[in-house]
Chain A
Amino acid sequence: MGHAWYVSTVLLTSCGFYMWPHTFGTAFTARSADTLRRNAVLMPLYSITLPLVFFVGFSALIVVPGLADGDLSLLTVVRQGFPPWFLGVVGGAGALTAMVPAALLILTSAALFSKNFFRPVFAPSMTDDQVTRLAKGMVTAISAAAINFPIFKSATLVSLLLLGYAGVTQFFPGVILGLYWRRASSAGVFAGMIAGVAMVAFLVLTGRDPFLGVNAGFLSLCVNAAVTVVISLLTPVQRGGFDEEIEEGVTNDEPLHEA
Chain B
Amino acid sequence: MKRPSLGAIAVGCLPLFAVCFSVPLWDRVHPMVLGLPFNFFWLILWILITTLSCLGRPGRWGMRGMSLPFC
Contacts and interface: CB of A to CB of B under 8 A. Distances in A.
A41 B20 contact: no
Contacts of B51: 41-42, 44-45
B61 A259 contact: no
A54 B2 CA distance: 41
A10 B19 CA distance: 9
B48 interface: yes
A34 B23 contact: no
A51 B44 contact: yes
Please provide the 7 A-B residue pairs with the shortest distance between their CB atoms, ordered closest to farther. A34-B62, A257-B1, A41-B54, A10-B20, A44-B51, A37-B61, A44-B50
Contact of A7 (B23, B50, B55, B62): B23
A156 interface: no
A256 B54 CA distance: 22
Interface string B15-26: 010011101100
Interface residues of B, number: 20
Contacts of B50: 44
A7 B20 contact: yes
Contacts of A11: 20
10 contacts: A3-B23, A6-B27, A7-B23, A42-B51, A45-B47, A45-B51, A47-B47, A51-B44, A256-B1, A259-B2
Interface string A40-79: 1110110110010010000000000000000000000000
A215 to B, nearest CB: 12
A220 to B, nearest CB: 19
Query: Chain B interface secondary structure, helix, strand, loop or mixed?
Result: helix
Contacts of A32: 62
Interface in A220-259: 256-259
Contacts of A148: none
Contact of B44 (A7, A40, A48, A256): A48
A99 to B, nearest CB: 26
Given A14-B16, A44-B47, 9 more contacts: A6-B20, A10-B20, A34-B62, A37-B62, A38-B63, A41-B55, A44-B50, A45-B51, A51-B44
Given A51-B40, A54-B40, A258 B2 contact: yes
Contacts of B48: 48
A51 B35 CA distance: 13
Nearest to B21: A7
A7 B19 CA distance: 9
A54 B40 CA distance: 9
Nearest to B43: A51
Given A7-B20, A14-B16, A258-B2, A48 B47 contact: yes
Given A10-B19, A41-B55, A54-B40, A3 B47 contact: no
Given A6-B23, A11-B20, A51-B40, A38 B61 contact: yes
